[in-house]
Amino acid sequence: MKFLFDLFPAILFFISYLYSQHNPEQAADWVSRLLGDVSPAQAPILLATIVIMLAAVLQSAYVRLRHGKIGKNLLLFLVLVIAFGSLTLILRNENFIKWKPTALYWVMAGSMAVATLFKHNAMRLMLADKIALPEAVWLRLNFAWIGFFVAMGALNLFVAYRYSTEIWMYFKMFGVMGLLLLFAIAQGMYLSRFITDEVKDERT
């Protein structure tokens, strides 16, 4: 359930875009009431942008009411959605919302890299209570995720500028999840070699 909750804004973004693609006149009418005159061609991505901004605000508000605070990752997501979404709506330029995933990936990669310079390993902080690994492996794991986020940011821009908005939408919804799953599986296979028998017994 948490996985679906985390994807809540992205799912609504995708669904609202597909609906608008099949109903551009209606989408244009809805968006025009908020932003002024909008063409049916512009409406799908603009409506989807409005939807993901509202969904991100509602998601953050729910977490704040339920847990008393908003986590750093969720707060970063909210700030980037509002910032890039606002630019998309004000300038009527879909490239801004397409840059949002890249900004998110690169900010995460940058923060992990900076933390490493100060001897703080982000992956060890998240996983040390679950698995025991040699220090060198923790370092490799940390750099692997940094590289993954950098690569995903670049790949997002490649798809965004090379292909249509619809293809970018499908990539964002399904391609990213598929690549993340493959990376996680490969990482798990690599780490399994370093998990001691004692740790495995504790987890079973």
Give 169-203 pLDDT, tens digit per residue: 999 999 999 999 999 999 888 888 876 544 444 44
Q: Would you mind telling me the total number of residues written for the chain in this entry?
A: 204
- DSSP readout, 2-66? HHHHHHHHHHHHHHHHHHHHH-HHHHHHHHHHHHS---TTTHHHHHHHHHHHHHHHHHHHHHHHH
Name which of 65, 92, 112, 170 is nearest 57 in CA terms. Answer: 65
Answer with the one of 91, 126, 151 that is the final residue of a domain: 91
Which residue has 């990669």 as its token pair? 109
**108 and 167 part of one domain:** yes
**101 and 35 part of one domain:** no
Q: How far apart are CA 55 and CA 130, in angstroms?
A: 32
**25 and 60 part of one domain:** yes
**151 and 167 part of one domain:** yes
Amino acid 196: pLDDT: 57
CA 178 to chain centre: 13
Q: Is 120 in contact with 170 (CB distance < 8 Å)?
A: no
Does the global pTM surpass 0.85? yes
Low-confidence ranges of the chain (pLDDT < 50): 197-204
**1 and 102 part of one domain:** no
Residues of the domain holding 129:
94-204
- Number of structural domains (the chain) is 2
**70 and 4 part of one domain:** yes
**84 and 4 part of one domain:** yes
**203 and 102 part of one domain:** yes
**31 and 70 part of one domain:** yes
Answer with the one of 71, 91, 111 that is the final residue of a domain: 91
Cβ-proximal residues to 28 (8 Å cutoff; 6+ apart), any chain: 38, 39, 40, 42, 43
Amino acid 129: pLDDT: 72
Cβ-proximal residues to 115 (8 Å cutoff; 6+ apart), any chain: 121, 122
What are φ and ψ of residue 175, in 5° steps? -65, -45
Q: Is 156 exposed, middle or buried, given 0-12, 13-18 or 19+ CB atoms closer than 10 A?
A: buried
Amino acid 135: pLDDT: 83
Amino acid 202: pLDDT: 43
**101 and 176 part of one domain:** yes
Answer with the one of 65, 91, 117 that is the final residue of a domain: 91
Between helix 95-117 and helix 72-91 the angle, nearest 10°, is 150
**169 and 122 part of one domain:** yes
Amino acid 138: pLDDT: 86
**105 and 85 part of one domain:** no
